Amino acid sequence: MQWARAFTQIAPVYDRLMSQVDYGTWCDYIVSLFAQARRPILEVMDLACGTGNLTRELLLRGYRVSGLDASAEMLSVAREKLPEVEFFQGDFLRWGIERDFDAVTCVFDSLNNILLDEEMMAAFSEVSDHLRPGGIFVFDLNTVYGLKRYWNDNIRVHEDEGIFSVWRTRFIKPDKSELRISVFAEEGGAWKRMDELHIERGYTAAGIIRMLKKVPGFSEARAFHHLTLLPPGRKTGRITFVAIKNVYS
Which spans in the chain are helix H? 14-17, 23-33, 53-60, 72-81, 117-129, 144-150, 205-214
Per-residue pLDDT for 5 more than 80? no
- C-alpha 220/C-alpha 245 separation (Å) is 7
Task: Give residue 162's pLDDT band: very low, low, confident or very high (50, 70, 90).
Answer: confident
Question: Could you read off the pLDDT of 46-79 as tens digits, one per residue?
Answer: 999 999 999 999 999 999 999 999 999 999 999 9
Per residue in 174-226, pLDDT (tens digit) is 999 999 999 999 877 788 999 999 999 999 999 999 999 999 999 999 999 99
Residues of the chain with CATH 2.20.25.110: 146-200
Please name which of 123, 116, 31 lies closest in space to residue 70, comparing C-alpha atoms.
Answer: 123
Which CATH fold would you assign to the domain 146-200?
A: N-terminal domain of TfIIb (2.20.25)
* 3-state secondary structure (DSSP) of residue 185: strand
Residue 56's beta-bridge partner residues? none
Spatial contact of 238 and 142, defined as CB atoms under 8 Å apart: yes
Q: What is the pLDDT of residues 12-42, one digit of tens each?
A: 999 999 999 999 999 999 999 999 999 999 9
Tell me the whole-structure pTM to 2 decimals.
Answer: 0.96
pLDDT at 246 over 80: yes
Residue 92 is classified by DSSP as S
CATH 3.40.50.150 domain locations along the chain:
14-142+203-245
What digits encode the pLDDT tens for the residues 109-152? 999 999 999 999 999 999 999 999 999 999 999 999 999 999 99
71-75, 159-163, 176-180, 237-241: least confidently modelled range: 159-163
What stretch of H or E contains 87? Answer: strand 86-89
Domain boundaries 14-142+203-245, CATH class = alpha beta
- 2: pLDDT strictly greater than 70: no
